[in-house]
Amino acid sequence: MEVDVMRFMILMKADERSEAGEAATEAELAAMYSYNEQLVKAGVLLGGEGLHASARGTRVTLTADETVVEHGPFPQPRELVAGFWLIQVKSREEAVAWARRCPAPEDGRTVLELRQVIEADDFGDALTPELREANDRLREMTVS
């Protein structure tokens, strides 16, 4: 089955400002609204949100033997996520084109990471018809 669209998550990396909990300026919020509006009008935006600083976050690390729960803040802000968009486009190039249009902050820089969402067909034979059907039923029950 040929896929005519693919989903990408655009992850906005945190920086010192976002990790300090500093609010965006009115101009930055207006620019971000305009960008989001362009995504909506183009019909590619599936969802997106900003995230609170890691000081308000929790990290859960799981191994076969233990579960470790750590409360933020976490070091290395550039490795953290400050927000995201989930978009549906026809190619990686289109996803990159949308990322390039994201507004930069007035006094800094924005780092975006694009990651393609794994689709059911990407699992190959490991996703049996029974598992696919069960997964489809769960998707129908999720909140949209």
Domains of the chain, start order: 6-141 (3.30.70.1060)
Nearest to 120 by CA among 142, 93, 139, 94: 139
Four-residue CA torsion sign, 72, 54, 87, 10 = negative
- DSSP for 70-124, written as a single string: EES--S-GGGSEEEEEEEEES-HHHHHHHHHTSPPPTTS---EEEEEPPPGGGGG
**For 19-44, what is each residue's pLDDT tens digit?**
998 888 899 999 999 999 999 999 99
What is the identity of the amino acid at 80? L
CA–CA distance, 70 with 31 (Å, rounded to integer) = 34
Q: Is the pLDDT higher at 42 or at 135?
A: 42
Omega cis (within 30) before 103 = no
- The three-class DSSP label of residue 138 is helix
**For 99-108, what is each residue's pLDDT tens digit?**
999 998 877 7
pTM: 0.86
Q: Helices (H), strands (E): how many in the chain? A: 4, 6
